[in-house]
Amino acid sequence: MENNAFYVALSLLVNLDATLFQIVALSLQVSLLAVLIAAVLGFPLGAAVALWHFPGRGGVIVALNALMGLPPVVAGLTVYLLLSRAGPLGEWGLLFSPSAMVIAQVVLVLPILAALCRQKVEELLGEYREQFMSLGMSRSRMMPTLLWDARFALLTVLLAGFGRASAEVGAVMMVGGNIEGVTRVMTTAIVLETSKGELPLALGLGIVLLTLVMVINAGAYAVAEFTRRRMG
């Protein structure tokens, strides 16, 4: 019985295992903060690329689309080099801290949010363009209107970003270091338990992670469906 992953997952939850909750809390904290920062930067960036035509715009769009598939370890390595003692941002002393993990996940999530937002805003702009011009709106005035009107689509985009952030292990492992009680998150804990041969515990953690992601997605879906039905 003790070797059954579901039993382990359940007992971890039922016994309110303190270590588990710390790991879950840190995972959520890091990924949600990373998605929030990436959204604040990425949505206006995506909308700007949709609205303004500048030389090299095509290149920016291709780069954003390509970076959606950036391997987490490459993002991790880049942030590692930037934050390591000898690196340009070494003075900040952030390596192997939750802040470093947030930065690495922002690098991973930002292209996804910006690229998908660009696409949604461009679609909406096609529909609204003449009305906006008729109202005499400048491009910078169009941006908040378009972002607000694309809000349902952008919520789904946020979920895609959160999925990417909470599921990846390579980046947080490299810049966080999987230090118990400091930078250990669900995915790095699963890697560790697996390598130790504690397969039921690893699987149990996996089930908890999956459940958590499902609950967050279900909540967001319910909110989106409710508002979509109300707003048409």
- Binding-site ranges for other proteins (CB under 8 A): 127-128, 130-131, 133-137, 141, 145, 148-149, 151-152, 230-232
Q: How far apart are CA 211 and CA 214, in angstroms?
A: 5
Amino acid identity for residue 149 in this structure: D
User: To the nearest whole angstrom, how small is the minimum distance from the Cβ of residue 122 to other proteins?
Assistant: 16
Nearer to other proteins, 92 or 132 (CB): 132
Quick one: CA torsion of 194, 199, 202, 206, rounded to 10 degrees? 120
Nearer to other proteins, 17 or 123 (CB): 123
User: To the nearest whole angstrom, how small is the minimum distance from the Cβ of residue 50 to other proteins?
Assistant: 16
Q: Is 155 left (phi over 0), alpha (psi -120 to 50) or beta?
A: alpha
User: To the nearest whole angstrom, how small is the minimum distance from the Cβ of residue 200 to other proteins?
Assistant: 48
User: To the nearest whole angstrom, how small is the minimum distance from the Cβ of residue 135 to other proteins?
Assistant: 5
Q: Are 19 and 189 in contact (CB under 8 A)?
A: no
Nearer to other proteins, 91 or 130 (CB): 130
Nearer to other proteins, 158 or 165 (CB): 158
Q: How far apart are CA 27 and CA 20, in angstroms?
A: 11
